[in-house]
Amino acid sequence: MSDTPTPNPQSPTPIWHKGTAAEDWVTRFTVGEDWRWDTILLPYDLEGTRAHAWALGQAGVLEDEEVDEVSRALDAIREAWERGEVTVRVQDEDMHTVIERELTARLGDAGKKIHAGRSRNDQVLTALRLWLRDALEGIAGTVLEVGHALVAHAQAGQEMLMPGYTHGQRAMPTTVAVWAAGYVDLLADDLAALEDARRAANTSPWGSAAGYGIPVLDLDRDGVAEKLGFERTQAIAAVQLSRGKLEAGVVHALVQMGLTLNRMASDLALFATSEFGFVSLPHEHTTGSSIMPQKRNPDVLELARATAHRLTAELHVLLTLPANLPGGYHRDLQLTKEATMRGVLATQDLVTATAAVLPGVRWRADRMRAALSPDLFATAEALRLVQAGTPFRDAYRTVGIHLDDLEVPSIEDALGAYTSSGTPGNVDLEALRKRLASAR
C-alpha cells in the first residue's frame, strides 16, 4: 500500500501505527519506564531476531541471502548499541520498534518482512528469558564467592569462641566457624532454589506470538529454541498465562537469598558496634558522617540488609498483578518485566556488595573472649550432671540455683564439650565446600 509510512530510525511512529497516532500523554503513560528496561534487553532481542530470521528462511518467507543480510545488520546494530548510538527512547515505545526500524532503514524489504510470524509478546518474553539466563548465572557465580569467603572465615574461626544469643541475650557459647557455616548452609539452599528458577526460565516462548500460535507459516519452534540455547520449548502457545508466574518464581528465589544476606549483614553491623566490637569492617567499605569526625558507618551492610525488603516489594507486584486477569495478554503484564528486572538488578548489587565486604572483615578474638560470661556454660554444666546420672530437670534446677559457681572454661575445655557435627569445634569445612559445589 503506497500510503503506508516507511519506518526509519529517527521516526517516532509506533510500528502499529495505522494513520492515527496516540496523544503524547498516552505514549508516556503506556510506555512508562519500559524504554529503560528495553535498552538493557536490546542485545537479547537482537539474538531473538537473528533466530527468528533463520526460521523465516526455513519457512520460505526470507531468501537465504536475506537471512544473511539480516544477521550482518543485527551485528552492526549491536555494535552501534555498544557505542551508545542506538538506544530506546520513550517515543520509540520499545526495543522491538527500534530494531525493526533499524533493519528496515538498512535493508528495505527484508526489514519489513522481519515481523512476520511474531508478536511483541513472544519477542519480549524471549529476550527477557535470555537475559535472565545470563543474569542469574552471574548472580550464582557471585554468591559462590560469598560462600567461599564465609568458608574462609569458618576455617580461621574454628577456635574463636563468642557468645551466642537468643532473644537478644547471651545464651550459649558458639564460634565464628559455626556463625559463618550457618550462612554457607543457607546460601547452598538458596543457590539450589535459584538454579530451579533459572531452569524454569530457560524455556523458549518463541513462536507463541500473541499467545495463540502462528497460522499459515510453518515455523520451527524447537529449532529456534535450540539455536537460542534454551533447554526446552514451552509446549503450549498460551505462554501469556505464565507471564508473571514464572518471573515470580525467579524473584522468590532472589528474595530467599536476600533474606539470608539480610540477617548476615545485620549480624555484622551489630558486631561492628563499639558495644560489641567483635569485628572490624574494611575501611573502604564504610562511610563517614557529615558532622561527626569520628564516625565510620556500615552503610554497605545496612543497604545490603535493606535490599531484602526491596526484593519482597517486587515479588509482591509479581504475585498480585496477574491475579484475577482473564486469560490472554493484558497491558497490565508489561509491569511484570520491570518488577523482575528491578529484582534481578538489585540482587546483583546485593551479592556484589557482600562479596566485596566479607574478605575484609576481621574478627577480634580478644573482644569476643572478654564477652564470654560464666552463665553461657550453664547448659554444659547441667548436661555433665545428666551424664553422671542426674535427671535433667533436677540438674537444670541445681545449676540454675548455683550460677555464681560457674566459671569460663579454657577454649580447649569449652570446645571439648562438643562432639556432634556442626557444633563448636566440629565444623566440617570440606562438607561446606561440597555443598556449595553441588548447589552450583
Q: Looking at 59-119, list the stretches that DSSP marks H as alpha helix, in order from N- to C-terminal side.
A: 64-82, 95-107, 109-113
Residue 210 backbone phi and psi in degrees, to 5: -85, 10
Handedness of CA 343, 313, 252, 234 (dihedral sign): negative
Pick the catalytic residue: 167, 274, 420, 421? 167
Query: Choosing from 289, 309, 330, 438, which is the catalytic residue?
Result: 289
Lookup: cell for 170: 547471651
Q: Please name the residues in contact with 169: beta carbons below 8 A apart, sequence gap of 6 or more.
A: none
Give the integer Cα–Cα distance in Å for 388 and 301: 46
Residues 6+ away with beta carbon under 8 Å from 225: 204, 206, 232, 233
Q: How far apart are the C-alpha atoms of 169 and 322, rounded to whole Å?
A: 44
Evaluated on CA atoms 50, 140, 271, 267, the torsion sign reads positive
119 is catalytic: no
281-286 LR contacts (CB < 8 Å, sep 24+): 281/357, 281/360, 281/361, 282/357, 282/359, 282/360, 282/361, 284/360, 285/356, 285/357, 285/360
* Known catalytic residue at 167: yes
CA dist 324 → 87, 241, 332, 336 (Å): 35, 12, 11, 15
Instruction: Return all residues near 433 (Cβ < 8 A) that are at least 6 apart.
Output: 148, 151
Q: Record the cell numbers describing residue 48, joined without a space.
A: 531473538
What type of residue is 412?
E
Q: List residues with catalytic annotation.
A: 167, 289
